[in-house]
Structures are given as structure tokens and as C-alpha cells.
Amino acid sequence: MTPGACFVGCAGWSLAGDVQTQFGEGASHLQRYASRLNAVEINSSFYRPHRRATYERWAASVPRDFRFCVKLPKAITHERRLAACDGLLQDFFGQAGGLGEKLGCLLVQMPPSLAFEATAADAFFRSLRKVHAGHAAVEPRHHSWFGAEAGALLGAHGLARVLADPVLFDEGRQPGGWDQLVYVRPHGSPRMYYSAYAPELLERLALRIAMAQAEGRAVWCMFDNTASGAATHNALALSATLAQDTP
């Protein structure tokens, strides 16, 4: 992936009625979504598998430079809790691999109760890297993942720690892990999944993203405040601000 690349989008490509006129024509919501935004997070893969042919169809329906981030199944992160997942990982990549070069990133979201344990985490990350060498981001939600040891292990495997909002712990106010990828997940604040972000905050976020790009880091910003439809509005606004600030 090109150093300094930036991808802005939402957790899913559903388009609410009040925003549809801001998108172009297309035979599907995904095609219309991709007329304005250059990336999307597939969260449905967390809940259920999709056939490889489905991923192939999605990839074929979007522009050449569009990218997908796919969320690992809960069977891996929440049920197996990262243990003995080789077969599940192979099955998952047998499906998601249908995206081909448009598979831009992976999202590994940990359950809040899953504490960092170095041996188990290292074994899982090694298994993950056997099937996927590209960009991947980890969103831990237990305080133990925000220490130096966990950060170093993530970095050693080329994995970024997600910068999520709302921030759970003070150590999470900055991205962590591998420093060549910045993955931002605004969930909505103060009400998670609902609250929209004010223009002033989006402008500050755009500045931080531009600084990361200038340092050669790849940046993803996927808005997850989808329950109220705020995500698409925020993603469009951030994309417009970044475009204005690009020389």
C-alpha cells in the first residue's frame, strides 16, 4: 500500500434516505457509497460468514482504488478468545480472500474481558500472519493491552493498535503498536453508535490525519456511529476537509 495513503469510510455501506442524494448512481448501495468514499469496514463478517463469491462480487462492483477492511469473526476473538484458531483463520481467509487486492486491512476487535497474555497473543498473531501479510489493526478493550509489552508485541508483528473514540483509557489517546499504520474508529460520543461529531472536531481530526500522512503513515478512519446515520455525514465531511487541505 502506498505510504501516506488515506482511507475514510463507515462501518457498513447502508445509506439513509437523508444522505442518498449526496451519492452517485449505482445498481447497489455499495456502488453508490463507493461513488463518494474510498473505503468501508465490513462488520457483518463478525457475525456470520460470507461466501467467497460474495466477496468477489463486492470487489468487482467498486472502483479500482477502493479498499475494504474486514472484521474478524467473533468465533475467533470472542468465542475461542484467540486460542487454537488456525482452522478458523484459514476458513475466514478462504472467504475474504475473494476481495483480492481490494482487501486493504483487517480489524481484530477484542472482547472487553480479554486481558493481554503475551504467550497466547504471540501465538495468535503468528497464526494470523501465516494467512495475511497485509495491514491489520487490533482494537483491544482491556486495560492490560495498553502497556508497553503489548505495544511492543503488536509492533513486532506489524499490527497497529486502533485509536478508538470514546477513549477507554488515557494510554489509548494515541495510536499504538506498529507505527506505519494509523487506524481510527470513532464510535460516536457521548452516545456510542449514535452521536455525530461536530465540524470543529472533524477539522482537528483532519489535521492529525494530514500529519500522519506527511510522516508516510497509512491512515484509516472508519466511522462507527451508524445507528443514527451520522457516520456517512461525518465521513463525507472529513473527506471534504482532507481534500481541501491537500496541496
Please name each of the domains of the chain with its CATH number: 8-178 (3.20.20.410)
| Beta-strand pair 176-177/160-161 | antiparallel
pLDDT, tens digit, 9 for 90 and up, residues 93-121: 999 999 999 999 999 999 999 999 999 99
Residue with cell 480479554: 114
Closest C-alpha among 143, 90, 154, 89 to residue 121: 154
pLDDT tens per residue across span 117-144 = 999 999 999 999 999 999 999 999 999 9
Q: Kindly tell me the burial class for residue 115, based on how many C-beta atoms sit within 10 Å of its own C-beta (0-12, 13-18, 19 or more).
A: middle
CA angle 185, 190, 193 (to 5 degrees): 50
Radius of gyration of the chain (CA): 17
pLDDT tens string, the chain, 247 residues long: the values are: 677 899 999 999 999 889 999 999 999 999 999 999 999 999 999 999 999 999 999 999 999 999 999 999 999 999 999 999 999 999 999 999 999 999 999 999 999 999 999 999 999 999 999 999 999 999 999 999 999 999 999 999 999 999 999 999 999 999 999 999 999 999 999 999 999 999 999 999 999 999 999 999 999 999 999 999 999 999 999 999 999 865 4
> Residues with Cβ < 8 Å from 21, sequence gap 6 or more?
none
Length of the chain, please?
247
Element (H, E) at 12: none
